[in-house]
Amino acid sequence: MYWTILFEVIGGFFILYIIVRLLGKTQISQITPFDFVSALVLGELVGNAMYDPDTGFGVIIFTSGIWGVLIYVTEIMTQKSIKMRRFLEGKPSILIQKGNLNWYELKKNHLDIDQLQQLLRAKDVFSMQEVDYAILENNGSVSVLRKAEADQPTCRDLNIQAEERKLPYTIISDGEIMNDSLREAGVNEAWIMEELEKQGVMRPEEICYAEYIPGNGIYFQRY
């Protein structure tokens, strides 16, 4: 029994290695959701076959081989056909365009404001005011093009004293006022609404996102 398990484990290891090598090299950051699911299924097929006492080594080779061929054919199809590539892998989505949130694309990709902010912070962008374009790639990462005025030379380059940076506070998200952020920022709801009314906003429900940087005023995006 133990020799059989040893033989199947070693065989399964080399089968997986050969299939992965044949399919080519892909960085983890480039893996699409389809690639991720395919890899999981391949691992499950080999794993379940190895530890099933009624399954022989031939079945492991057969099932792994079929799945490997399917993945390989799919990769060839996506390389040869743009339509097939977009059908299987999708296409990038523009979440912010010319500084404006694309609410339709956010909802289409099941993203909320908090998730978008997290993706932007991963790119060292802490305020949406700095973003000209933000594109959600097929692998789930976000590519960011900053506004020209936000891409400035450093204070060290200009030999000037830098001002203290302050994190922006999200004060409205999905039309709802974030009271915790208001308290942290040292302002109240009445002041916020007064400032928004000056810019033609009568109700917070009109706003999908608003942030406040102490000393710099309020920045917001309508639906």
Residue 185: count of CB within 10 angstroms of its CB: 21
DSSP-assigned states of every residue in 81-99? -HHHHHHHH---EEEEETT
pLDDT at 120: 92
Give the separation between CA 169 and CA 223, rounded to whole angstroms: 19
Residue 204 CA, distance from chain mean position: 27
Look up the pTM and report it: 0.59
Alpha carbons 116 and 193: distance in angstroms, whole number: 24
Partner residues linked to 170 by β-bridges: 211
Q: Are 81 and 88 in contact (CB under 8 A)?
A: no
Amino acid at the residue 65: G
Domains of the chain: 2-88 (no CATH), 93-150 (3.30.240.20), 166-222 (3.30.240.20)
Amino acid 78: pLDDT? 72
How far is the C-alpha of 127 from the C-alpha of 196, rounded, in Å? 18
Question: Given the structure tokens 């080594």, which residue do they identify?
Answer: 57
Distance separating alpha carbons of residues 174 and 33, to the nearest angstrom: 27
**Quick check: 37 and 82 in contact, CB under 8 A?**
no
pLDDT in tens, the chain (223 residues): 566 666 666 666 666 666 666 655 554 455 666 666 677 777 776 666 666 666 666 776 777 777 777 777 877 777 777 777 777 677 889 999 988 999 899 888 888 888 899 999 998 888 888 899 999 987 788 999 888 776 666 556 666 665 666 778 999 988 889 988 898 888 999 998 998 999 999 998 999 889 998 888 899 988 8
- Under 8 Å between Cβ of 128 and 118: no
Q: Sheet containing 169-173: give its strands across.
A: 176-177, 169-173, 207-213, 217-222
> Token pair 């940087």 is at which residue?
213
Q: In whole angstroms, what is the distance from residue 204 CA to residue 157 CA?
A: 41
Residue type, 218: I
Q: What is the DSSP string of 156-186?
A: HHHT-PPPPP-PPEEEEETTEE-HHHHHHHT
DSSP string, 141-161: -EEEEE-GGGS---HHHHT-P
